Amino acid sequence: MVWYGMVWYGMVWYGMVWYGMVWYGRYRIEIETPLIEWRFYSAKTDNLTRDFIDRESSWSYNPIAWNCL
């Protein structure tokens, strides 16, 4: 019974990790990539955005909130 529980726990943990990787990959493709492309596109026409990108180049930074200020 102990081995059965360990195998079941390993399967559940592996499934959670795999599902998290798939969800994070979809998040990267559907959400972060358009924001990155939109940020550098707007940097070509907006000096304020371009200067802010030079100081803050984090993947977690949201350009829409900055341009709504």
pTM of the complete model beyond 0.85: no
Residue 25 forms part of a structural domain: no
Residue 43 forms part of a structural domain: yes
Classify 13 as helix, strand or coil: helix
Quote the pLDDT of residue 59.
46
Residue 51 forms part of a structural domain: yes
Residue type, 12: V
- 5-54 tens-digit pLDDT: 778 887 778 777 777 666 665 555 555 555 555 555 554 555 555 555 55
Q: How many domains does the chain have?
A: 1
Q: 62 lies in which domain range? A: 35-69
